[in-house]
């Protein structure tokens, strides 16, 4: 038989478990809405896979100390594989507004001088074409 005093604690633990499941599903999840800064670069690999590379710009606005609106632009490097890359190749061009979802990854390599280089990219798993900026 359950002790009625344990009910609030059990409800609290269930709530914590549910929150943990939700937060766990958000690990390394990126969602961005922005405009392409260039036409996507499409690479057809020898394996038959297709790769799309592009940059998107996101804008954030705020008011500075003088009350003036300031817009800050951030650039994000995005890569997409397979069917998503095919869709990008056929329908997405410079200036298009897109929403993407994916995860952050960091790659390293050594340049010609032997210096270790790093790049962080969003690996796109979902793409939504929002608008066409002409």
For 52-99, what is each residue's pLDDT tens digit? 999 999 999 999 999 999 999 999 999 999 999 999 999 999 999 999
**In 3D, which of 77, 74, 81, 83 has the Cα closest to residue 104?**
77
Kindly state the percentage of the chain with pLDDT values over 90: 75
Is residue 88, in this structure, part of any structural domain at all?
yes
Is residue 7, in this structure, part of any structural domain at all?
no
Is residue 5, in this structure, part of any structural domain at all?
no
CA distance 58 to 61: 10
- Are the CB atoms for 56 and 12 separated by under 8 Å? no
Domain of 48, CATH number, reads 2.40.50.140
- DSSP line for 41-66: EEEE-TTS-EEEEEEEEEEEEEE-TT
- Tokens 């960091």 label which residue? 106
Note the pLDDT of residue 17: 76
Q: What band does 6 get if pLDDT is binned at 50, 70 and 90?
A: low
């Amino acid at each position: 038989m359950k002790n009625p005093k344990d009910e609030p604690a059990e409800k609290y633990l269930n709530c914590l478990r549910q929150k943990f499941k939700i937060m766990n599903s958000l690990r390394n999840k990126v969602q961005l809405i922005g405009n392409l800064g260039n036409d996507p670069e499409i690479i057809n690999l020898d394996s038959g896979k297709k790769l799309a590379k592009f940059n998107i710009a996101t804008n954030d606005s705020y008011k500075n100390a003088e009350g003036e609106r300031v817009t800050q632009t951030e650039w994000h490097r995005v890569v997409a594989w397979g069917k998503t890359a095919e869709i990008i190749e056929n329908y997405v061009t410079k200036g298009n507004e897109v929403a993407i979802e994916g995860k952050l990854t960091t790659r390293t390599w050594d340049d010609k001088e032997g210096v270790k280089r790093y790049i962080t990219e969003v690996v796109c798993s979902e793409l939504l074409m929002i608008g066409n900026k002409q």
